[in-house]
Structure 1
Amino acid sequence: MIMKKEALILDMDPGIDDAVALSIALTRPEFDLKLLTGVAGNVSVEKTTANLLKLAEFFNRTDIPVAMGAKAPLRREFKDASYIHGASGMPGYDFPEITHQPIEADAVEAMYQVLNDAPEPLTIVATGSYTNIALLLNQHPEIKPKIKRLVLMGGSLSGGNVSSVAEFNVFTDPDAADIVFNSGLDITMIGLDVTLKALLSNQSIQDVAKVGEVGKMISGVMTAYNDVEDDGKPMHDVNTILFLLHPEFFTLEDHMIYVITDGPAIGGTIADTQDRWSNGQLNAHVAVDIDAQAFEKWFLAEIPHMNQMKDNPIK
């Protein structure tokens, strides 16, 4: 039986955990990657786009177009997270110089064209701020029927990582997040409620380095990653790819999510669990729990697969 691949656009800001998520996506036969787009987030958009190109070349996947997107949030001043991800966004491994370039179209126009030309609606996975997607929806609202669903890394119902309530991706551009959550699209929110449980242990990071060049690269960037929990390092963005492959690992609840766009709680994602404001409306499937042991077992099994696929790329 021929497996039908899921067609994807990946909108990212690599960033170390984005880089690991992309590494898996580039090597899984279940996915048909149509476009990679960079956005300002963990580091500048010039650097995030360069990192997309580096990884596409590392895995011999230069067949996938790469487009540069928004340089700053819709209304706020841009502030990166280089204190977590390093100046380049992907320290810890010596990537060769880039030999190919982004396409001429910017991320919004490239997404519009790919969606418009697709015979069936596509899934968009976003692991950075949602600025590119918000711009797409504002500039081309007619494209919504061509978006099958959004799988978003971001948000939290249980507390933040850049403030007491806000997760980084939403905090970076809360106005964009507000547009996205009010878009009426099918949204799955993979936030800190699960990503802070999906940890890669320090021992596993060391062990991964022994599994070929891919293991060396993954271990190198993860070692340089300054996002640390007591039991290991969180793999935030990897959870979006895991969700597409193994949704059974996750517990989801449907909620009405409101994004706070001003004041001390800016960037917060609030679920109206008591239905005080939403009148029964729901706008997101929210991941609230994960099988953390299954996550790490799955992730470690991906490393030898990625190493094999590096020299036998999917075309």
Structure 2
Amino acid sequence: MTKQPLIISTDPGIDDIAAMTISLFASEFDVKMLVPTWGNVALEYTLQNTLNLEEFLHTKVPVVAGANQPLVAPMISAASVHGKTGVAGYDFPEANEQLLVPGLAATLMHNAIMDSPKKVTLLGIGPLTDFALLIKQYPNVVENIAQIVIMGGNIGRGNHSPLAEYNIAGDPEAAQVVFHSGVEIKVAPLEIGNKTHITPQQMEEIKNCGEVGKMLYGLFSHIKEPDGDPRIKIFDPTAVALILCPEAFVIKKARVEIELAGRFTYGASVIDFMSGQPNAEVAVDVDLEKFSRWFTNSINQADQGIK
């Protein structure tokens, strides 16, 4: 089986850790690069969290420091949800910078994508700043991008503001660049993450998935949802599942535009399922049983991978 080349832009963040862990050990992926960016917390933390995760997992994927702020918007933070460093709930081994590759993320991503004999998939599970910089700086790169898969946006209400989801609200201008790139885009919006919550029974199953399961159990147990919902929501892995377990989703074509000028709606995702000019495929429903089975099996596979 030919593996799918993958570059991950991430802002770990608890659910980012789960998404990266699954991706690093998925037999379908050849992860070329991890690009931590500002997002849930500042870049200094997301970068160290990425390096620490690889130390824990014993993986050797190159890490490239991404953007430390949005293109235009003031920087926001989700430290109240994920903890000051982004990964409250588990003490990772402190990693050195051995895997850190010096250079600008846009340039290094461009080089990796253009050098790849197979088109590369981009996975965006944080603000899309670095993907926007890549596309603007190197517009020819879109020719060798297979698809961009995003966890972000919202069909209805938001979780950062009444009408804006956090990842898109973090850098609305970057998101608009990505949605206008002409690349095939798949979206796991906020509503899908809200549905794929973890029950107490599933938490126990995860806890029993070896060292990886214990790590994720510790992280998930410390998530504090802003709305006070006691259920644990795992947003970022839904984007990975869109690639690896598409049968779990109902997907519809849509035109996605990002609101950049609204006083109260800045960063909102305007998702039009009636448009005759779609630029994305958006997940609108999920089979929770299929997703949960895939999720638990993926954690088990990752645990086997580190042994």
2:292 paired residue number = 296
Residues 112-154 of structure 1 show CA distances to partners (whole Å, capped at 9, x for unaligned) of: 1101111121000000000000111111111110111100110
- Of 206, 209, 224, which residue of structure 1 is paired with 2:207? 209
2-structure distance, mates of 1:9, 1:207? 29
Q: CA deviation at 1:29?
A: 1.2
Q: CA deviation at 1:200?
A: 1.1
The equivalent position to 1:72 in structure 2, one of 69, 73, 90, is: 69
SS in 1 for 2:108: helix
Residue of structure 2 in register with 1:41 after alignment: 39
Q: Secondary structure at the match of 2:260?
A: coil
Alpha-carbon deviation of 1:101? 4.4
Q: 1:282 and 1:192, CA in 2 relative to 1: closer, same or farther beyond 3 A?
A: same
> What SS class does the counterpart of residue 188 from structure 1 fall into?
strand
Q: How many angstroms apart in 1 are the aligned matches of 2:99 and 2:32?
A: 16
Match of 2:79 among 58, 77, 82: 82
Alignment match, 2:264: 264
Structure 1 Cα separation of the partners of residues 228 and 199 of structure 2? 9
Q: Unaligned stretches of 5+ in structure 2?
A: none
Number of equivalent positions: 304
How far off is 1:273 after superposition? 3.8
1:194 pairs, out of 172, 192, 208, with: 192
Q: SS in structure 2 opposite 1:70?
A: coil
**Counterpart for residue 305 of structure 2:** 309
**Cα displacement (A) at 1:229:** 6.9
| TM-score, normalising length: structure 2 | 0.95
State the AA in 2 paired with 1:265: T
Name the structure 2 match of 1:91. 88
Q: Deviations over 1:207-239 (max 9, x none)?
A: 422332111101001111113775621110001
In the alignment, the residues of structure 2 paired with residue 72 and residue 120 of structure 1 have an alpha-carbon distance, to the nearest angstrom, of 31
> Per-residue displacement from partner, 1:135-179 (whole Å, max 9, x unpaired)?
111111111101111001100112111111110000000010111
Structure 2 residue 249 is the aligned partner of structure 1 residue 250: yes
Shift of 1:272: 2.9
Identity, % of aligned pairs?
Answer: 36
Inter-partner Cα distance in structure 2 for 1:116 and 1:67: 17
TM-score by length of 1: 0.93
CA distance in 2, matches of 1:296, 1:229: 23
In structure 1, stretches of 5+ residues that fail to align are: none
CA separation in 2, counterparts of 1:119 and 1:274? Answer: 37
Task: Check conservation: 2:172, 2:267, Cα contact below 8 A.
Answer: yes
Report if the CA contact (8 A) 2:121-2:148 is conserved.
Answer: yes
Q: Distance in 2 between matches of 1:110 and 1:91?
A: 30
Separation in 1 of the partners of 2:114 and 2:103?
14
Structure 1 segments of 4 or more deviating over 4 A?
228-231
Distance 1:60 1:165, change over 3 A: same
1:196 positional shift: 0.7
Match of 1:111 in 2: 109
Moved more, 37-46 or 264-273: 264-273
Alpha-carbon distance in 2 for matches of 1:249, 1:208: 20
Structure-2 separation of matches of 1:244 and 1:274: 24
Shift of 1:304: 2.5
Structure 1 equivalent of residue 148 of structure 2: 150
Partner AA of 1:289 in structure 2 = D
CA distance in 2, matches of 1:212, 1:123: 29
More moved, 169-178 vs 108-117:
108-117
Match of 1:238 in 2: 237
Q: How does 1:220-239 map to 2 (within 5 A)?
A: 220-227=218-225, 230=229, 232-239=231-238
Contact 2:124 2:151 in 1 (8 A): yes
1: CA distance between counterparts of 2:139 and 2:222? 40
